[in-house]
Amino acid sequence: MKTTAEIRQAFLDFFAAREHRVVKSSSLVPGNDPTLLFTNAGMVQFKDVFLGSEKRAYTRATSAQRCVRAGGKHNDLENVGYTARHHTFFEMLGNFSFGDYFKKEAIEFAWDFLTNSCGLPAERLWVTVYEEDDEAASIWLDEIGVDPNRFTRIGDKPGKRYDSDNFWAMGDTGPCGPCTEIFYDHGPDVPGGPPGSPDEDGDRYIEIWNLVFMQFDRAADGTMSPLPAPCVDTGMGLERLAAILQGGHSNYDIDLFQHLIKAAGRVTATDDLAVPSLKVIADHIRACAFLIVDGVLPSNEGRGYVLRRIIRRAIRHGYKLGCKDLFFSRMVAPLVEVMGEAYPELSDKQAYVTEVLEREETRFGETLDQGMKLLEAAIVELSDRRIPGEVAFKLYDTYGFPIDLTRDIARERELNVDEEGFERAMGEQRERARAAGSFGAKDGLPAELIAELKPTEFLGYSETGVDSAEVLA
Ligand code: ATP
Ligand code: MG
Ligand code: MG
Ligand code: MG
């Protein structure tokens, strides 16, 4: 059985053997793009190459890119713990053509890799194309010979032009184009329907690989201008592929996650390794550690606030497991064990990452218990299934519970949060702060703690980032 690390390498080797330059993963903080919160795909570091404003010494590239989808256009934070396939942090395997090959070769490479190198049976795969893309349809059906019964054309969402699962865009602006996607059928034991069907959101047919035919640059006003040359950008989730190749169904079954889940069980003193909270902790440590490696620090705004929210969600899961000690920062060492070799920057900063997490954990630990008690007491009193806005606000303002954390707890108990009431309380707070001429406590942290927080420290792109896009092979 191949390990996740070996699968990552096999992918890069496959494309290196087909004249692709192996390019190192860039930072999670996009160096060339203020429009983007985090690197959410392999193409991000190549954006300017697609746009034609940057030239590289090669026209074919391949990478395993660390990605975070926890904010902005691609946000999977709410899926973690609920699906078998979504992470906040994951690795995207990709191959890229900058005005070199186009649809035909891209499709052939992907099919060859999956069916020959990985040995996946064709009858387990399902293909989708953008509804209007006759060229891609014909390559799949006439040249590759996929079964028309395992093939779907997917169009735009009603009333929206170029808004489709088969029209990929990095964000609201930038390079975009029609795409074709390959799904794996985990079999009838898993609930869920094929792509394009009403129950496609189940975990039976799992999307593994997206091949994007980059053709346009979308401007802020929605205008689409053609790129200087048609390009290819593909992305495949490493963890999803590993799940299939290791004979499992859930991403959490793979060697890498099993290692982290065992570690999470150990540090929280939890014997039952099947409890969902351990999965969430295993997921969140990757996002948090790599964001810190890439120069983000927990704070009350922007990227730092996203990091803080993920850390606090993880800590609350430990609390839910009855863990009273610091545990989250103790997940860094096990993470280094499974990912340090592929990402030396993680090993290099192990002590620093541990310290940052420990600090945040200590800080939130001071208010978490009291906040939870307040929430539990409020829940007992509920007359409907809705947590009052004032309670959510108090949790936010006094106990440092980001609103999504309260929402997360509510969802677990099949409750919801009075969002309007929360917004109203927030508005009143802002008014009071304005009247008093101060900005107030932003995240419900006592003022002295806020003063203690360092601003997001920028560690530079050069170490891991776009500027250096260091070539490995
Ligand atoms: P999904 O429909 O499953 O949410 P997506 O269409 O949003 O995936 P793409 O933007 O097409 O994903 O990204 C390319 C590939 O990256 C996907 O086919 C999948 O294998 C992987 N991927 C996307 N999001 C995640 C995630 N949150 N966690 C793990 N892998 C992911
Ligand atoms: Mg998605
Ligand atoms: Mg999709
Ligand atoms: Mg997709």
CA of 45 to the centre of ligand 1 (A): 18
Indicate if the pLDDT at residue 416 is higher than 80. yes
**Per-residue model confidence (pLDDT) at position 57:** 96
Please state, in angstroms and rounded to a whole number, the distance separating the CA atoms of residues 297 and 294.
9
Pairing of strands 416-417, 386-387: parallel
Neighbours of ion ligand 4 (CB under 5 A): 210
User: In this model, does residue 376 exceed pLDDT 50?
Assistant: yes
Q: What is the mean pLDDT of residues 91-109?
A: 98
Residue 311 has pLDDT above 80, yes or no: yes
Give the whole-angstrom CA distance, residue 366 versus residue 131.
Answer: 54
Residue whose CB lies within 8 A of the most ligand 1 atoms, among 82, 90, 197, 290, for a mutation test: 90
Other Cβ atoms within 10 Å of 42 Cβ, number = 27
In DSSP notation, 354-381 reads HHHHHHHHHHHHHHHHHHHHHHHHHHHH
What is the biggest distance separating any 2 CA atoms in the chain, rounded to whole angstroms?
Answer: 71
Contact 99, 136 (CB under 8 A): no
145: which 2 tokens? Answer: 């010979």
Q: Of the bound ligands, which one is closest to the alpha carbon of residue 237? A: 1
Closest Cα to atom 13, ligand 1: which residue?
A: 235
Separation of 103 CA from ligand 4 center, angstroms?
Answer: 17
Question: Closest Cα to residue 25, out of 295, 342, 237?
Answer: 342
pLDDT of 74 reads 87
445, pLDDT greater than 70: no
Q: Tell me: the pLDDT tens digits for 419-434?
A: 999 999 999 999 998 8
How is residue 453 written in tokens? 């927080």
Ligand 1 nearest atom to the CA of residue 88, by list position: 27
| Closest-CA residue to 257 (of 284, 235, 236) | 284
Name which of 233, 244, 231, 166 is nearest 204 in CA terms. Answer: 244
* Strand, coil or helix: 189: coil
pLDDT band at 73 (very low <50, low <70, confident <90, very high): confident
Q: Mean pLDDT lowest for which of 228-237, 392-401, 464-473?
A: 464-473
Sign, Cα dihedral of 377, 382, 388, 392: positive
Of 106-120, 187-201, 266-280, 351-365, the poorest mean pLDDT is in 187-201
Q: What is the mean pLDDT of residues 159-165?
A: 93
Identify whether the C-beta of residue 402 lies closer than 8 Å to the C-beta of residue 444.
Answer: no
Residue carrying structure tokens 């865009």: 169
The overall average pLDDT reported for the chain is 91
Phi (first) and psi of residue 255, to 5 degrees: -50, -45
Q: Give the side-chain half-sphere CA count within 13 A for 243.
A: 23
Helices 350-381, 332-339: crossing angle, 10 deg rounding? 130
Q: What is the CA radius of gyration of the chain?
A: 23
For residue 207, the CA-to-ligand 1 centroid distance in Å is 7
Hey, which of 240, 250, 279, 310 would you mutate to test ligand 1's pocket, going by the most ligand atoms within 8 Å of its Cβ? Answer: 240
Tell which one of 82, 114, 210 to mutate to probe ligand 1, the residue whose CB is within 8 A of the most ligand atoms: 210
Nearest to 22, CA basis, from 283, 389, 342: 342
pLDDT at 35 over 60: yes
**At 75, is the pLDDT very low, low, confident or very high (cuts 50, 70, 90)?**
very high
Name the pTM for this structure: 0.90
- Which of ligand 1's atoms lies nearest the C-alpha of 212? 11
- The protein residue with its alpha carbon nearest to ligand 1, atom 25, reads 86
SS3 141: helix
pLDDT-based confidence at residue 456 (cuts at 50, 70, 90): very low
Containing 164, the helix (H) or strand (E) segment is: none
| Per-residue model confidence (pLDDT) at position 448 | 38
Bigger pLDDT: 311 vs 460: 311
Lowest mean pLDDT among 59-63, 170-174, 302-306: 170-174
The Cα-based distances of 90 to 13, 36, 373 in angstroms read 20, 17, 34
Binding-site residues, ligand 1, Cβ < 6 A: 69, 76, 85-87, 90, 92, 207-210, 235-237, 239-240
CA of 304 to the centre of ligand 3 (A): 27
Q: What is the mean pLDDT of residues 243-271?
A: 97
Distances (CA, A) of 97 to 7, 28, 105, 283, 428: 22, 22, 10, 31, 52
CA of 352 to the centre of ligand 4 (A): 35
CA of 235 to the centre of ligand 1 (A): 8
**High-pLDDT (> 90) share of the chain, %:** 85
**Ligand 1 centroid, distance to 237 Cα (angstroms):** 6
Check whether 449 has a pLDDT greater than 80: no
- The ipTM of this complex is 0.99
CA of 181 to the centre of ligand 3 (A): 8
Give the per-residue pLDDT at 438.
Answer: 59
Residue 171: its pLDDT value, please?
84
Q: How far apart are CA 30 and CA 116, in angstroms?
A: 35
Find the helix or strand (DSSP H, E) in which 461 lies: none
Distance 207 CA to ligand 3 centre (A): 6
- Average pLDDT of the residues in 28-44: 90
Measured from the CA of 206, which atom of ligand 1 is nearest? 3
The CA distance from 98 to 233, in Å, is 9
> Which one of the ligands is nearest to 202 CA?
1
- pLDDT exceeds 90 at position 72: no
